[in-house]
């Protein structure tokens, strides 16, 4: 079975706080390690009441400290928001404290609106068109410094933290292929260009010192429970959250409802169903079949599972079921 990893949005549930969400995230990282997931990543989002991982490197430091073997990383850091040197120092610090366990996924989206982007940068002079050069600058800071080099990342210098290119369009696929880097596609919320992006990445890939052949990881929303019916009910929290986000009303993660049609309009439902068209929702057998089918259709080298579930214990159980389904499928394949 295709290896599984975790993308944690550190969702703040209605009636809860960011502190509780972050403590739940640490517990999820420990749980993911115990269940056999390969990586635990968090994402950078700003000015969103429902996501607590804005200070991504800080949150990841706590996740890394609480675990011992699972890889810890960002999925991702929105590089136009930052000077590459700052990110190199942050993730160099993580890598110095936790050698061989840190990943750095970078994207060119702002992860926020224009007003928030200005508050982050004080100026919008940082252009997404500079993204390729910013990536190269960032990666250079992780290489051993050269004699006479005026600016070094300390920590970071020589640590060669693995850099991933993230994307939800064809741009990231082209850049990852050109630079010979691993590629992660956001199919968990933007599936439109998934297959075309994968084709571009694989056919145009140039081997590099970082990677000798293409390596593609795909995001996948997986909502698992002991029964299909319970999983479908848990999934209504995510459906409501997406509908509100698309309507310009982002907020905290709402509790599940018995009838999703009663709380979102038919147009919103159509938008949500499209955005979540790659999602796998169901009991153990449904999840096993869904994971297997998605991996077979895409040829993904790795799947990054995310789950927007209101109740924390149900979320832990969902990741446990997904891991068990993957292990069962691997055993059947080996038999």
Rounded CA separation 194/206 (Å): 20
Domains of the chain by start residue, with CATH: 4-334 (3.20.20.30)
Dihedral sign from CA coordinates of 73, 281, 264, 19: negative
Q: How many whole angstroms separate alpha carbon 184 and alpha carbon 75? A: 8
Judged by DSSP in three states, 187 sits in: coil
What's the start-to-end Cα distance of the chain, in Å?
13
pLDDT at position 128 is: 58
- Indicate the helix (H) or strand (E) that contains 303: strand 302-306
β-pairing, 216-224 vs 280-282, is parallel
Q: How many CB atoms lie within 10 A of CB 330?
A: 13
- b/e per residue 9-29 (b: at least 16 CB within 10 A): bbbbbeebebeebbebbbbbb
How high is the pLDDT of residue 24? 98
Distances (CA, A) of 57 to 86, 130, 178, 226, 262: 11, 22, 27, 34, 39
CA distance 136 to 124: 20
Given CA atoms 189, 190, 194, 198 in this order, what sign does their dihedral have? negative
For the chain, which ranges sit under pLDDT 50? Answer: 331, 334-335
Per residue in 262-295, pLDDT (tens digit) is 999 999 999 999 999 999 999 999 999 999 999 9
Name the pTM for this structure: 0.94
Residues near 8 by beta carbon (within 8 Å), at least 6 away in sequence:
25, 28, 29, 40, 41, 42, 53, 306
């Amino acid at each position: 079975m295709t290896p599984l990893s975790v993308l944690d949005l550190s969702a703040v549930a209605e009636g809860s706080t960011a502190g509780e969400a972050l403590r739940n995230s640490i517990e999820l990282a420990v749980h993911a390690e115990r269940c056999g997931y390969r990586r635990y990543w968090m994402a950078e989002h700003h000015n969103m009441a429902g996501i607590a991982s804005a200070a991504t490197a800080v949150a990841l430091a706590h996740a890394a400290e609480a675990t011992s073997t699972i890889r810890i990383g960002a999925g991702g850091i929105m590089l136009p928001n930052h000077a590459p040197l700052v990110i190199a120092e942050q993730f160099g610090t993580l890598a110095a404290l936790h050698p061989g366990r840190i990943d750095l996924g970078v994207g060119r989206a702002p992860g926020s609106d224009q007003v928030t982007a200005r508050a982050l940068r004080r100026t919008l002079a940082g252009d997404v068109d500079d993204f390729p050069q910013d990536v190269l600058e960032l990666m250079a800071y992780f290489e051993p410094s050269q004699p006479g080099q005026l600016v070094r990342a300390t920590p970071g210098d020589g640590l060669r933290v693995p850099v991933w290119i993230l994307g939800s369009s064809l741009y990231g696929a082209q850049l990852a292929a050109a630079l010979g880097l691993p590629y992660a596609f956001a199919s968990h919320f933007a599936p439109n260009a998934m297959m075309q992006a994968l084709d571009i990445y694989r056919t145009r890939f140039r081997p590099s010192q970082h990677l000798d052949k293409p390596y593609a990881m795909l995001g996948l929303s997986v909502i698992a429970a002991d029964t299909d019916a319970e999983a479908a009910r848990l999934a209504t929290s995510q459906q409501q959250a997406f509908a509100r986000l698309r309507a310009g009303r982002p907020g905290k993660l709402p509790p599940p409802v018995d009838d999703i049609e009663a709380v979102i309009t038919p147009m919103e439902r159509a938008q949500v169903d499209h955005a979540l068209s790659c999602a796998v929702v169901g009991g153990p057998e449904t999840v096993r079949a869904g994971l297997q089918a998605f991996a077979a259709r895409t040829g993904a080298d790795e799947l990054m599972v995310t789950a927007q579930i209101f109740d924390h214990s149900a979320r832990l159980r969902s990741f446990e079921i997904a891991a068990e389904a993957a292990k069962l499928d691997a055993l059947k394949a080996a038999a």
